[in-house]
Amino acid sequence: MIEEAFLKKLGSKISALRRKNGLSQSDLGALINMEKSNLSAIENGRQNASSLTLKKIADAIQCEVKQFFDY
């Protein structure tokens, strides 16, 4: 899988889990101390998230990081 497609799938999964938990991008950004624009870039596959950022997101939406990779 090329990097671009991987990042888009990852971002889409993060977005779906965030919405399932009733959080807006602004809400999640505030919880993990990240600008909404950066979170949007991750969710849209334009920015690669570090492993630490993925962990922060997972903790904030009460899931495990491995769920981001369940396609």
pLDDT score at 57: 98
- Tens place of pLDDT for every residue, the chain, 71 residues? 688 999 999 999 999 999 999 999 999 999 999 999 999 999 999 999 999 999 999 999 999 999 999 86
pTM of this structure: 0.92
pLDDT score at 70: 82
> 39, exposed or middle or buried, with CB in 10 Å at 0-12, 13-18, 19+?
buried
Helix (H, G, I), strand (E, B) or coil at 34: coil
What is the C-alpha to C-alpha distance for residues 45 and 21, in angstroms, rounded to an integer? 20
pLDDT score at 2: 85
The domain segmentation of the chain, as residue ranges, is 3-69
Helix (H, G, I), strand (E, B) or coil at 48: coil
Distances 40 to 1, 55 between C-alpha atoms, Å: 22, 17
Topology adopted by domain 3-69 = 434 Repressor (Amino-terminal Domain) (1.10.260)
